[in-house]
Copies of this chain bind each other. A is one copy, B any other.
Amino acid sequence: MRRPTSYDVARAAGVAQSTVSRCFRDDGGISGDTRARVHAVAAELGYTPNAVARSLILRRSNVVALIVTDFTLRTNPHVIDGISQALNAAGKRLLLMTVSGDNDVAGAVVGAMEYPIDGLITGALIGDENLARFLARGVPVVSLNRRVDRARVDCVATDHATAAGEVADLLYGAGLRDFLCMTGPVDSAVNAERVDGFEARMRERGGARVARCVSGAGYDEGRAAFAAYVARHGRPEAVFCANDQLAFGVMDACRHDLGWRIPEDVAVVGFDDLPEAARPAYRLTTVRQQFEEIGRAAIGLLVRRIAAPEAPARTVLLPGQLQRRASTL
């Protein structure tokens, strides 16, 4: 019932505790003979090195903390999967902390701060002063999909603005001039980059009208907000949505609430390329984010920074890949 320690193994194997320790780290200086005996005894006793004691002395835990909003967890689990797999490959563990709508961030930060974590990956806004606290402790920080202008904070993100510009080109090129952007929540930096990128390109091209509609981040919010918008302002020629969930909501509003055809009456574009986007129900033109790749890149940045803590901050910008489907001409 009590967990066996290296002392227990040492006693049973007739060696010193330090010898057991060495055997479990493949320290090198160990005769094959004692090595085998120690491992045999350990297996019999069910001994596993105590990661906590190891972390205490090494001052690092092999654990990486990931802070994400529950919305991200529910709608982009692929990012988390990518991170998790990359961490497995790197022999590190994942401490997952979810925050509800940028709320209870404080608790997550405190939690992460109590551990000697090898690194922090954050997909949620944790605030500048919190960021500073991690950096002050020498904890490498990687920001997901959000630029952070700060020394030693690496960043991995889809190039939202450029991709949104391509979306703008596509629609503009099709002769459309009257646009609506479903921005999602106002405080989402990611969504803002997308919408701003779209608008910027439209301004360059000239002669287009771009309206904005703010809403919650999800399907239902998008569907309702869009319906309410068009009730007051009429039908735009095309709708650019800050994410696919919003786009699904808009499409369903068009077809099922308003009786409009897509793309004949209105074109719709999303962002993310969730699996559903490609399916017959939507065939949504959207921008693919390489979710798994984002996860892998984040771990790559982390590992590099652990090796070179003072290296200049890097940003890995992954291109978004425009997927043309039947929701646009």
Q: Which A positions have Cβ atoms within 8 angstroms of B? A: 1, 3, 46, 48-53, 55-56, 59, 61, 63, 70, 73-75, 77-78, 80-81, 84-85, 88, 93-98, 100, 104, 107, 110-111, 113-116, 133, 136-138, 219, 248, 252, 255-256, 275-276, 279-282
Q: Are A48 and B85 in contact (CB under 8 A)?
A: no
Q: Are A78 and B74 in contact (CB under 8 A)?
A: yes
Instruction: List residues of chain B with CB within 8 A of the CB of A50.
Output: 56, 114, 116
Q: Are A48 and B110 in contact (CB under 8 A)?
A: yes
**Given A53-B56, A219-B275, CB of A46 within 8 Å of CB of B81:** no
Q: A248 CA to B275 CA in the complex, in Å? A: 12
CB distance from A294 to the nearest CB of B (A): 15
Q: Are A248 and B77 in contact (CB under 8 A)?
A: no
Q: A63 CA to B114 CA in the complex, in Å? A: 12
Q: Are B133 and A46 in contact (CB under 8 A)?
A: yes
Copies of this protein in the complex: 2
Q: Are A93 and B85 in contact (CB under 8 A)?
A: no
Instruction: List residues of chain B with CB within 8 A of the CB of A88.
Output: 97-98, 104, 107
Q: Within the complex, which residue of B70, B97, B114 is in contact with A94, where a contact is CB–CB below 8 Å? A: B97
**Given A100-B85, A137-B3, A255-B280, CB of A52 within 8 Å of CB of B61:** yes
CB distance from A52 to the nearest CB of B (A): 5
Instruction: List residues of chain B with CB within 8 A of the CB of A279.
Output: 219, 248, 252, 281
Q: A212 CA to B112 CA in the complex, in Å? A: 48
CB distance from A261 to the nearest CB of B (A): 14
Q: A52 CA to B138 CA in the complex, in Å? A: 17
With contacts A51-B115, A70-B85 known, what are 10 further pairs, Cβ within 8 A?
A3-B116, A48-B113, A50-B114, A52-B56, A52-B115, A73-B77, A74-B77, A95-B95, A96-B96, A256-B280
CB distance from A48 to the nearest CB of B (A): 5
Q: A52 CA to B57 CA in the complex, in Å? A: 10
CB-based closest 4 A-B pairs: A281-B281, A51-B114, A77-B77, A84-B98
Q: A276 CA to B281 CA in the complex, in Å? A: 11
Instruction: List residues of chain B with CB within 8 A of the CB of A252.
Output: 279-281
Q: A219 CA to B75 CA in the complex, in Å? A: 17
Instruction: List residues of chain B with CB within 8 A of the CB of A133.
Output: 46
* Nearest opposing residue in chain B for A76, CB measure: B77
Q: Are B84 and A116 in contact (CB under 8 A)?
A: no
Instruction: List residues of chain B with CB within 8 A of the CB of A282.
Output: 281
Instruction: List residues of chain B with CB within 8 A of the CB of A94.
Output: 95-97
Instruction: List residues of chain B with CB within 8 A of the CB of A95.
Output: 63, 93-96
**Given A84-B73, A96-B96, CB of A1 within 8 Å of CB of B114:** no
A-B contact pairs, 24 of them (CB 8 A): A1-B138, A3-B59, A46-B136, A48-B114, A49-B114, A51-B114, A51-B115, A70-B85, A73-B77, A73-B84, A77-B80, A84-B96, A85-B98, A85-B100, A88-B97, A93-B97, A94-B95, A94-B96, A95-B96, A248-B279, A252-B279, A255-B280, A256-B280, A281-B282
